[in-house]
Chains A and B, each alone.
Chain A
């Protein structure tokens, strides 16, 4: 289906989400942080189609800018999904959506 990259999840959630997404036919890349090149030689920044970013108190949002940058994701029309565990201010959420990010409260 699609190549998905996960960012900012804790180890257990990352493992569980990877398993869940792979069971649905996606290829999942983990273990990367913004600014790093992909350690897994099977993937490059040009492959990532959907980036899923966990935004919690422990993983602040400045990383999102780096994730959306061309250095990390460079496929055609990649989608960045920001998963929030707390509500963002309406202004901030609107700013993110206008920059093309998707926001999910889950």
Chain B
């Protein structure tokens, strides 16, 4: 004989997690390396080391280039505000965090962003997410995560529909923990 109330309680939780996945998107962990203890985290000089999908209690690496990681991090921070490719490029250029990306490693790991490159990176970001979702068994169109929103003009705005958390890792310049 099964404990039916315990089953119903678990079903409630599973149904809620499904609804949250549909409404708020998947969950990601963004790891910042070369964090300096006592600085509070997300400070200029850190490196966006990796982005992982958290799905069904497991972590799945999202295969992103440095530029894609910078873009993902930027979109994750701005996630409630849809922005055009030009606004994203300008935003990244003016963000002190992204301008000094990786300075704590001893070399700057910055990338140049223009509106046209942002559009290309968005396309590649979706391709990388598709690879990761496939590996994780998550059935979701990456276009529902990196969302394009049409405006009344020609401009397209982009929005990351996901739940993101940041993990800060202390690392020395030799890449050792």
Chain A bound to chain B: yes
Within 8 A of B (CB), among A1-39: 1-2, 4, 9, 13, 16-17, 20-21, 24, 26
Tell me, yes or no, whether A83 is within 8 Å of chain B by CB. yes
Tell whether A77 pairs with B7 under 8 Å between CB atoms, given A1-B15, A50-B18, A106-B2: no
B4-A13 in contact (CB<8A) = yes
B12-A24 in contact (CB<8A) = yes
Interface of B toward A, CB cutoff 8 Å? 1-8, 10-12, 14-15, 17-19, 21-22, 56-58, 137-140
Q: A13-B4, A77-B140 are in contact. List 9 more A-B contacts (CB 8 A).
A: A9-B2, A17-B7, A21-B8, A50-B11, A76-B22, A97-B57, A98-B58, A104-B6, A104-B7
A21 to B: closest C-beta gap in Å = 6
- Return chain A residues, CB-CB under 8 Å to B18: 2, 49-50, 77, 79
Tell whether A26 pairs with B6 under 8 Å between CB atoms, given A77-B21, A77-B139, A85-B1: no
Q: Which of B10, B21, B140 contacts A104 (CB 8 A)?
A: B10
Task: Count chain A residues whose beta carbon lies closer than 8 angstroms to a beta carbon of B.
Answer: 27
- Return chain A residues, CB-CB under 8 Å to B7: 17, 52, 81, 83, 104, 106
B2-A76 in contact (CB<8A) = no
B15-A49 in contact (CB<8A) = yes
Q: Which of B15, B17, B21, B140 contacts A26 (CB 8 A)?
A: B15
11 A-B pairs within 8 Å (CB atoms) are namely: A17-B7, A20-B4, A20-B5, A20-B8, A21-B8, A50-B15, A76-B22, A77-B18, A81-B10, A83-B2, A100-B137
Residue of A whose beta carbon sits closest to that of B21: A77
Tell whether A79 pairs with B14 under 8 Å between CB atoms, given A100-B56, A100-B137: yes
- Return chain B residues, CB-CB under 8 Å to A83: 2, 7
Q: Which of A21, A52, A54, A77 contacts B138 (CB 8 A)?
A: A77
- Return chain A residues, CB-CB under 8 Å to B8: 17, 20-21, 24
Q: Which of B2, B21, B138, B139 contacts A85 (CB 8 A)?
A: B2
A13-B2 in contact (CB<8A) = yes
Considering the chains assembled together, what is the distance between the CA atoms of A83 and B2 in angstroms? Answer: 8
Considering the chains assembled together, what is the distance between the CA atoms of A46 and B170 in angstroms? Answer: 46
B161 to A: closest C-beta gap in Å = 15
Residue with the greatest number of chain B CB neighbours at <10 A, chosen from A13, A81, A98, A106? A106
- Return chain B residues, CB-CB under 8 Å to A85: 1-2
Residue of B whose beta carbon sits closest to that of A17: B4
